[in-house]
Amino acid sequence: MTAGTPSILVVDDEVDTCRNLSDILTDLGYHVDIAHEGLTALEMVRQKTYDVALLDLKMPGMDGLTLYREIKKLSAGTVAIVVTAYAGGDTRSEALAAGAWQVLSKPVDFPTLLGFVDETLGQPLVMVVDDDHDLCENLWDLLRERGFRVCLAHDEKEAATRLCSRDYKVVLIDMKLPEGDGASVFRMVRQANPRTRTLVITGHRPEMDLLIQKVVDEGADAVCYKPFDVAGLLSTLERLSQDSSAKKYLAACGKPG
């Protein structure tokens, strides 16, 4: 995948639908891959990072919602748009509850679909690096509601892999990680893309204060302490995702030391 070129996965058992979507999206400059059933799609997600997944709801074997739940485990930053001939109230509610961003009725209205894809790709891409899986899930829900695309990593190695595949607006880094620490991740972020903003987080303030001060001195943009002031965390993240200046922003979530 060419760096900076959005990648889209289309999953539908209707060959003509896939071909039409692929032709249109390819003409618009996107990288498009096609799968006709869930197991193939999952193998593709294991091999490649996708920005958007267009998923048919009713397919033989694995349905679209089950597929998306599995995709989310592998690639939380892939945004799902569910396309279905059964877009009634219960179906739509179930899809949104599973984490899908939009639900579209068949036959597909292409201008609406392309508008959703464009809007999705305009959402700031952030990564949360934290070994607390429950916290990551909660942050995923919270930040998706605020219009962020959210990738998750639970250790230094996973963060390194994800940094190779995408450019992030902001990376939230827990300072205490298994088999490493947040300072190492911070330096990897700076090396991967110096323009990425960094927000370091910790629930171990006395233990981590010296390390936090060190990464702040090295250029970390903001610090937030657990348990989070949610309003402060969100306002800090929104500012960092929109502000390309190099100014530090520590006040909203507390200063180190």
Residues 132, 105: one domain?
no
At 252 the pLDDT is 43
Task: Give me the residues of the chain with pLDDT under 50, please.
Answer: 1-2, 246, 251-252, 254-257
Total count of domains within the chain: 2
Residues 129, 191: one domain?
yes
Q: Name the nearest CA neighbour of 50 among 25, 75, 73.
A: 75
Residues 42 and 50 sit within 8 Å (Cβ to Cβ):
no
Q: How many residues are there in the chain?
A: 257
Q: By residue range, what is the domain housing residue 94?
A: 7-121
Residues 5 and 25 sit within 8 Å (Cβ to Cβ):
no
At 251 the pLDDT is 42
At 92 the pLDDT is 80
Residues 91 and 63 sit within 8 Å (Cβ to Cβ):
no
Residue 112 DSSP symbol: H
At 173 the pLDDT is 97
- CATH number for the domain spanning 198: value is 3.40.50.2300
Cα 64 → chain centroid: 19
At 255 the pLDDT is 43
At 158 the pLDDT is 94
At 206 the pLDDT is 84
